[in-house]
Amino acid sequence: MALVFVAASGHSPSAAASAFWEGAFGDRTAFATTLEQAIPLMFVALAWIIAFNAGRFHVGFPGQIMVAGTVIGAIALTFSAPRVVQLPLAIVGGMIGGAAYAGVMAWLWARFGVNEILSSLLLNFIAFEYLAWIVRGPLQEPMHVQPSTDILKGTARWPILLTDTSLKWDLFLVPFLVVGMVFLLKRTRLGMRIRMVGASEPVARHAGVRTVRMGVYAMLISGALAGLAASSLLLAGDAPEMTDDFESFVGFHGIAVALLARNSPIGVIPAAILFSALTQGSTLVEALVGVSSAVADITQGIVILLVLSATTILYFLRSSRRGIVRTARAPEASVSRPEAG
């Protein structure tokens, strides 16, 4: 499909295709970059999945990543400590930052019944302005020219996993978190209660589950995972400093990755790699063949829309074949207001 656009621009599709493959998976360096860029997408996708299971459809990942980024930036800039201290501190700080910002949304929802889709949308804008101010104010580089911080301390950054590539050790967080998410959802009381609330709020309430509390927990965990994505972006990314656009749509693309994976924690891994490959491949296509890398955006967007339509239609087809009359579980919970008490 992307090749259609390439052909439309008057370039050779075959040259573009081979350049694309080179850029995404061609050699060790290219594949390592694809993999590294996929990691924050996986974390955001997992963040979406936990909130989704509780029926809370927030879109606050960009904001949570940005706020977490400022915490990480502060920890990685203001002091020096051995890596075993500073790196974990920065990561945990980011997770707390992300969870705290998600906490604002959770509080507005639990206390005032503010729909989390709307509040997270607004909180994203506030976080954007806040980050823009942070990198032009308190944490600006010493020359006070660029809208970015100074170079983050090396002791706060992830060590390189494969020499001469951009792949860092944060890759090893991925299997741990994916398995952790499956375990949490399928094997723990908390996970089971969260899924009950997402499946049917009234039933969960009758079963004695504190539905509001479960929604809040899910949103906090979700925010912490978004904060983790921020730490991978900043402490394992290629840029040595924090700019006001370091988030670079990871927060929204992560949602698309989760949908592509059909909300399966394990499926998140291939889906994120596919998404990342699209971006990486088209970067080389632009450099070698001269086709605008905007083609990657078009393709990613079309993939989102197609997968979204296909999965929803399949869902309805399957449920009607079983003869079960039910509405889509997902949207039903999306506007449920917390009950008082």
Partner 1 sequence: MTILAAYGPFDAIFLGSVLILTTPILIAAVGEMISERAGVLNVGLEGMMLAGAFFSYWATWRSGNLGVGLLVGIAAGAAFGVIMGVVSIEARANQIVAGVGINIVAIGLVTFVYDQVFGSRALVTVGRIHTWDIPLLSDIPGIGKAVFANSPLVFLAFLLVPASWFLLYRTKWGLSIRAAGELPVAADAAGVSVRRVQWTGLLVAASLAGLAGAFLSIDQLGLYRNGLSGGRGYLALVAVIFGRWHPSGVLGASLALGGTTALALRLQSQGDVPPEVWMVIGVIGAVAAALATRTAINRGRSPAAPLVALGLAIAGFVLYATAPSLDLPDQLWRSLPYLIALVVLAGPGGAVRMPSHLTIPYRRGT
Residues that bind partner 1 in the complex, under the rule CB under 8 A: 5, 8-9, 57, 59, 108, 111-115, 117-119, 121-123, 125-126, 129-130, 132-133, 136-137, 249, 252-253, 255-256, 259, 292, 294-302, 304-305, 308-313, 316, 325-328, 330-332, 334-335, 337
How far apart are the C-alpha atoms of 43 and 258, rounded to whole Å?
Answer: 10
Nearest distance in Å: CB 307, partner 1: 9
How far apart are the C-alpha atoms of 6 and 218, rounded to whole Å?
Answer: 42
- CB closer to partner 1, 80 vs 309: 309
Q: Which amino acid is at 320?
A: S
Residues 6 or more apart from 117 whose CB is under 8 A from it?
57, 58, 59, 334
Nearest distance in Å: CB 271, partner 1: 14
- CB closer to partner 1, 137 vs 208: 137
- CB closer to partner 1, 235 vs 278: 278
Nearest distance in Å: CB 109, partner 1: 9
Q: How crowded is residue 294: how many other Cβ atoms within 10 Å of its Cβ?
A: 11
Strands in the chain per DSSP E: none
Nearest distance in Å: CB 280, partner 1: 16
- CB closer to partner 1, 186 vs 337: 337
Three-state secondary-structure class, residue 243:
strand
Nearest distance in Å: CB 227, partner 1: 20
**283 in Cβ contact with 21 (< 8 Å):** no
- 232-263: burial string, b at 16+ Cβ within 10 Å, e else: bbbbbbeeebbbbebbbebbebbbbbbbbbeb
- CB closer to partner 1, 96 vs 132: 132
Three-state secondary-structure class, residue 184:
helix
- CB closer to partner 1, 112 vs 172: 112
- CB closer to partner 1, 115 vs 166: 115
Nearest distance in Å: CB 65, partner 1: 15
Nearest distance in Å: CB 180, partner 1: 25
CA 129 from chain center: how many Å? 20
Read off the DSSP letter of residue 27: S
**244 in Cβ contact with 71 (< 8 Å):** no
Nearest distance in Å: CB 80, partner 1: 28
How far apart are the C-alpha atoms of 296 and 282, rounded to whole Å?
Answer: 6
- CB closer to partner 1, 78 vs 327: 327
**119 in Cβ contact with 108 (< 8 Å):** yes
